[in-house]
A and B are shown apart, each in its own frame.
Chain A
Amino acid sequence: MLATTDITALLVQARRGDERAVDHLLPQVYERLRQLAHRYLSGNLHQTLSTTALVHEAYLSLVNQHDAVWQDRAHFLGYAATAMRHILVDHARRKAAQKRGGGQLALDWQSSDIPVDCIAGEMVALDAALAGLGTLDGRLAKVVELRFFAGLSVEEVATVLGVTTRSIVRDWNKARLFLHHALETPP
């Protein structure tokens, strides 16, 4: 784990377009998010995991607030969304692989949780569809990452991507249609 100042420096380098800085950053953010997630779920805390809270907490714990400027936060959220996507999809793949016996479960059932298998399958499928969307329009895919995986609000996504909220709403609506289509019509 790098010190917060190192992460801040990496962010500055990444902001200047240094690709290697990005390569160093992503694993750091991934690891931190994973640790935070497990801390939430371990022991007896029994809090519902909030991806939004995770992403913001990761920022606070990784980036030196004193040196960071607002662009750094926006950039960080961008990376964190990608890392969060990787974490969730990695877990989903593992879960899908160790899928226990028993048939398909309906999503609507009677308690606070949704069946693991369904979620794992949907998550893996979403990741693939999102990758397809990314090759067609990178920004649409990024908007989905930020909104869905990092749980950012429309306004926050607009700040991160430096465009108007109106554009984000448009992008999101379009991406939704594309992904709904991709997920509902099997290949």
Chain B
Amino acid sequence: MLEIDRLEVRYGGITALRGISIEVKEGETVLLVGANGAGKSSLINAVMGLVPAESGTIRFANADLSSLSCDRRARAGIGYAPEGRRVFPSLSVTDNVLAGAFGLGRARQSEALSWLHESFPLLAERGNQLAGQLSGGEQQIVALARAMASFPKLLLLDEPFLGLAPVWIARISEAIRAMQRLGTTILMTEQMARPALKLATRGYVIRGGEVRRSGPVAEIRDLALADEYL
């Protein structure tokens, strides 16, 4: 579903990704794990079109993404939950979710909303509250729901456990499992490897903008856990 080939990303004179290649197949949950500054978020942002690729290609559903703007990539079927949640603070919880379903039409939006309310009751309970007033864990649920509201083919999750208490990590993990049960393909990054490894089918350990090891979760576990403490 997603093929990244020799991707290079630079910020001024600093190279964040050095010719990285990864693949995500339909229905998989692939984990990018690595220490802070390894280049995980740069890769997610490059796939979403939020940072330009210096070289290399990104193909999604057999189409080259390089000429597509960020908003067109979203409409092509990529959902995105950014690092640090970044909910729309002045919008209500319901409006945040509906913003993720922009342009789908009223019927499809209602369908998304009732499905997400069923999966995450918090969204219905706090529907009218401003998202900026929620706790970090609650905001993460909103960010996940917003990313799912357009029924994406591929979901990009950037550090979904960042800064969360264990109780919320468990809840977010359950939310991600709910998305997996729906057959959603997921590419997620996480510095906290331990809970993330329980969710993934395959993974890539990234260091210094390069892939150091890849394979099924069992094969990368040791190296991934070593990076967790870096």
Q: Do A and B bind each other?
A: no
Residues of A within 8 A of B (CB): none
